[in-house]
Amino acid sequence: MRNLKIIMAYRGTAYHGYQKQDNAVTIQETVEKCISRVLDTPTEIYGCSRTDTGVHANGYCFSVKTEKQIPIRNIIRGTNGYLPSDITLLSCEEVSEDFHARYSCRGKEYVYLIHNSECRDPFAEDLKYHYRRKMDLDLMRRAAEYFVGRHDFSSFCSNASEKASTVRTVHELRLDREGDLVKVTISGDGFLYNMVRIIVGTLLWVNEGKIAPEDIPVIMERSDRKLAGKTAQAHGLYLNRVFY
């Protein structure tokens, strides 16, 4: 039995997230149909994580097991030949039998793209969040420092469960600007549901003067989602890299 580690990129606009659903088109369903045609047998893939409706990926990892001895190059080319233009396989390699895209994952990196201009970007309407206000990146960077480290992020996630730990470690949270594009990069050992989007929304609240950078530790201590910022729109978010 071969175990394959595959990296793909996708534009999530037309899909209801990664995970299969009964009444919606998803990334997983679409990829499984295409790779099953290449392998000539019904095939299930195992993704590194869920992504929401409209969220994109630059480097999403999934694993798949097969007894077929098709060359790796042919698996990539064949599957890409069947896939729609908004999904593509980037690489494929054989890995140990115990590798699993989700359970072997040691961390992830996300980026959130903001088009910071009075005018919309008609060529990236579903690829960047359009934000008109002037952005004080120095102020937002002061707030970002409080997120780095190991914390309870229950104030910065949706649907927190009392049974599951909401403690995560953020390794880096960086804001960079190039022209009208502001890129928020965040990496960590794992992320809660909507955590990245809520952190971005909270940084925007800091920019708008609704909260101060020094309020972030207090919001963490309160474990109250209502105190943190809005959930930033999905179409600015990208799963950028997965670490193993």
- Residue 162 confidence class, pLDDT cut points 50, 70, 90: low
Q: Which of 22, 40, 52, 121 is catalytic?
A: 52
Same domain, 87 and 182: no
Q: Which residue range(s) make up the domain with 22?
A: 2-95
52 counts as catalytic: yes
Q: How many domains does the chain have?
A: 2
29-57, pLDDT tens digit by residue? 999 999 999 999 999 999 999 999 999 99
Q: Please, what is the average pLDDT of the chain?
A: 96
Same domain, 82 and 138: no
pLDDT greater than 80 at residue 200: yes
Same domain, 235 and 124: yes
Same domain, 142 and 70: no
Q: Global pTM?
A: 0.95
pLDDT value, residue 160: 61
Same domain, 119 and 233: yes
65-94, pLDDT tens digit by residue? 999 999 999 999 999 999 999 999 999 999
pLDDT greater than 70 at residue 127: yes
Same domain, 119 and 149: yes
* CB distance 243 to 107 below 8 Å: yes
pLDDT value, residue 159: 79
Residue 5 burial (10 A CB sphere; 0-12, 13-18, 19+): buried
Task: For Cα atoms 120, 130, 146, give the angle at the middle one, nearest 5 degrees.
Answer: 155
pLDDT greater than 80 at residue 212: yes
Whichever domain contains 181, its CATH number is 3.30.70.660
Identify whether 153 is part of a domain: yes
In 3D space, the residue among 89, 108, 110, 111 whose CA is nearest the CA of residue 48 turns out to be: 108
Same domain, 138 and 230: yes
